[in-house]
Chains A and B, each alone.
Chain A
């Protein structure tokens, strides 16, 4: 069974009187260890898809399994648990907590996982080392550059050893050079065996992932895989 499996997933929103069909019968499978991108223009439904995949929301209809767990009708607590145990998020605007240090930010997911303080610290330091920020553990996000902040966010996403990492426009707020290093970091992490899904509107960024899922008007329009490129 694939790590992520979506069958005929539909998501409808109601905005006032109007009903919006954000996702219209999505079928999708993502395997363990894949490095994929979801690409589409704004309003295409890619963010909605990422919210569903990231267990921030549930589909209106259809089924969705993540790591063998049916989350299509999961309640709020179950979704929280899934996000905590199996999913890591990297956001465009980093979403670090400004009053906390780098170390504390990275420790955050483990707090909700009930990891002991000692282990939290060890694992957070490991993750920070992986993104190359060991010398900034005591800094607050405001004392870091954009690229460094995104690295902290990546460390935070990896620290609970998730099955899959979602990155929503991870280079959107970075200059192209820094963006490139972040993408490079994702590639390295992917090579170490993590499953990564990038969500982007930028085809150049999407081009760097072996698999690209293009979405338009709530439907997957094309899929391309270049498994041989990364081989």
Chain B
């Protein structure tokens, strides 16, 4: 008997018991759907995390963080001034191992006004290197310069969203040359950053699918979106920040004097393969400015990235196990139904044996039936997963939208097919070993 005929008989058998076959397949359908959705979900999360990672500077960005001093330095830790601009200058000497460095002093919230428009956002004071370290790009005008920093000029580079908020009546406005006020001080806008968005949204926008930012482009989780935050950036020279906004610090009603401590200190490693060496050099440089006090540490994204990858692997693994179990249950369902159907068809098997079917013909017939159930279940499961995906898309943050990869489709589908064949093995073996005489007498 050829395989093609076996296939026809298998399909006929499934068609003859449509409802029962569907119930049998349900386990496989749900298994494949959950397996594929899980793959898509973790792929989406992975992509979202990597994109996020890239948006906040990539793994080459390293932050210097303050940390508790070791016990043996506790008594005299005050000789270190903490993170200051001097650190940034020290790190800058590590060039070319360090490609960029910037000290950052921030205003958590500042009122930006233009005419009667006000927009509240955070303002960063930094060096020109702030732009490459944070993966910013200038769309119009220019970056701040060291001359701006030296002369503490009242200039700023603003994000696209900031422009939109301050000039809501104008679309695609180029604000370069305009004057805005930050907490009452006038600043000239010298540049504007590009509009940052997800690659997918960018493609859609460029194809003209959505002229307005798409629904999926908006962040659903408040404050999570790296894009929204990045698009509302305002950058001014760090010196201007110090002189205008940090020269007095009010503690209660008393002026605590100037606070030139940094809120952030970050640099970019030129070669991520040599990150350890670079960190050592930077450590030595900063130790000098901190007078040997170990009150600082490194915040490397490498650890983040590793943790993210580990998380993704774990999620994938546990999700895979759960989906695998449901597929396995589907497989038992197939075995069970096939065994039941064989009991019903003992006489048919007897007739087939009587007219010359060999044991292996019967074996192939049952395996083919089982594989066909797995196949159809797999196909329906793929369709079902698109339904599940729609639900996932609507409930998961846009940044983590599930991604269906061809490899996951193939893996899920092959798994269904394998389950189909494997679960048919025992019923097929049993059917092929029926004694023809007993089978003919049956029922």
Question: Residues of B contacting A112 with CB < 8 Å?
Answer: 1, 352, 355-358, 361
Judge whether B437 is part of the interface by a CB distance below 8 angstroms.
yes
Judge whether B5 is part of the interface by a CB distance below 8 angstroms.
yes
- A interface secondary structure, majority: helix
The answer to whether B16 touches A89 (Cβ under 8 A) is: no
The answer to whether A80 touches B440 (Cβ under 8 A) is: no
Interface flags, A41-71, vs B, CB<8A=1, else 0: 0000000000100101100000000000000
Question: Residues of A contacting B437 with CB < 8 Å?
Answer: 51, 56-57
The answer to whether B359 touches A95 (Cβ under 8 A) is: no
Given the contacts A57-B437, A112-B358, A80 and B353 also touching, CB distance less than 8 Å: yes
Q: In the complex, what residue of chain A is closest to B357 when comparing beta carbons?
A: A112
Cβ-defined partner of A85 (8 Å) among B13, B356, B360: B356
Provide the bound-state CA to CA distance between A99 and B352, in Å: 14
Judge whether A156 is part of the interface by a CB distance below 8 angstroms.
yes
Interface flags, B337-356, vs A, CB<8A=1, else 0: 00000000001101111111
- Of the listed residues A57, A77, A111, the one surrounded by the most CB atoms of chain B closer than 10 A to its CB is A111
The answer to whether A76 touches B359 (Cβ under 8 A) is: yes
Q: In the complex, what residue of chain A is closest to B355 when comparing beta carbons?
A: A109
Judge whether A83 is part of the interface by a CB distance below 8 angstroms.
yes
Question: Residues of B contacting A77 with CB < 8 Å?
Answer: 358-360
Q: In the complex, what residue of chain B is closest to A81 when comparing beta carbons?
A: B356
Given the contacts A76-B358, A76-B359, A91 and B12 also touching, CB distance less than 8 Å: no
Interface bin, chain A: 20 to 34
The answer to whether A108 touches B352 (Cβ under 8 A) is: yes
Within the complex, the shortest CB–CB distance from A46 to chain B, in Å, comes to 14
Judge whether B436 is part of the interface by a CB distance below 8 angstroms.
yes
Cβ-defined partner of B440 (8 Å) among A85, A91, A99: A91
Given the contacts A97-B348, A112-B361, A56 and B355 also touching, CB distance less than 8 Å: no
Within the complex, the shortest CB–CB distance from A202 to chain B, in Å, comes to 20
Judge whether A84 is part of the interface by a CB distance below 8 angstroms.
yes
A-B contact count (CB 8 A): 62
Provide the bound-state CA to CA distance between A89 and B355, in Å: 7
Q: In the complex, what residue of chain A is closest to B356 when comparing beta carbons?
A: A84
Judge whether A113 is part of the interface by a CB distance below 8 angstroms.
yes
Q: In the complex, what residue of chain B is closest to A166 when comparing beta carbons?
A: B354
Provide the bound-state CA to CA distance between A95 and B350, in Å: 9
Interface flags, A4-43, vs B, CB<8A=1, else 0: 0000000000000000000000000000000000000000
Q: In the complex, what residue of chain B is closest to A54 when comparing beta carbons?
A: B354
Within the complex, the shortest CB–CB distance from A104 to chain B, in Å, comes to 9
Q: In the complex, what residue of chain B is closest to A78 when comparing beta carbons?
A: B358
Within the complex, the shortest CB–CB distance from B165 to chain A, in Å, comes to 71
Provide the bound-state CA to CA distance between A67 and B17, in Å: 42
Interface flags, A130-170, vs B, CB<8A=1, else 0: 00000000000000000000000000100010000000000
The answer to whether B440 touches A95 (Cβ under 8 A) is: yes
Q: In the complex, what residue of chain B is closest to A91 when comparing beta carbons?
A: B440
Given the contacts A57-B437, A112-B1, A112-B361, A95 and B356 also touching, CB distance less than 8 Å: no
Give residues of chain B (1-28) contacting chain A, Cβ–Cβ below 8 Å.
Answer: 1-2, 5, 12-13, 16
Question: Residues of B contacting A54 with CB < 8 Å?
Answer: 354
Provide the bound-state CA to CA distance between A83 and B5, in Å: 20
Provide the bound-state CA to CA distance between A92 and B5, in Å: 28
Within the complex, the shortest CB–CB distance from A219 to chain B, in Å, comes to 21
Question: Residues of B contacting A51 with CB < 8 Å?
Answer: 437
Provide the bound-state CA to CA distance between A114 and B1, in Å: 6
The answer to whether B351 touches A97 (Cβ under 8 A) is: yes
Q: In the complex, what residue of chain A is closest to B441 when comparing beta carbons?
A: A47
Within the complex, the shortest CB–CB distance from A124 to chain B, in Å, comes to 13
Interface flags, B153-171, vs A, CB<8A=1, else 0: 0000000000000000000
Question: Residues of A contacting B1 with CB < 8 Å?
Answer: 111-112, 114
Question: Residues of A contacting B358 with CB < 8 Å?
Answer: 76-77, 80-81, 112
Given the contacts A95-B347, A97-B348, A83 and B440 also touching, CB distance less than 8 Å: no
Known contacts A56-B354, A99-B12, then 11 further A-B pairs from the complex at CB < 8 Å, ordered by chain A residue = A77-B360, A80-B357, A80-B359, A89-B355, A108-B355, A109-B356, A111-B1, A112-B1, A112-B356, A112-B357, A112-B358
Closest 4 CB pairs of A and B: A84-B356, A109-B355, A112-B356, A80-B358
Ordered by A's residue number, 12 sampled pairs between the chains whose C-beta atoms are within 8 Å are A56-B353, A56-B437, A56-B440, A76-B358, A76-B359, A77-B358, A95-B354, A95-B440, A99-B12, A109-B355, A112-B361, A160-B355
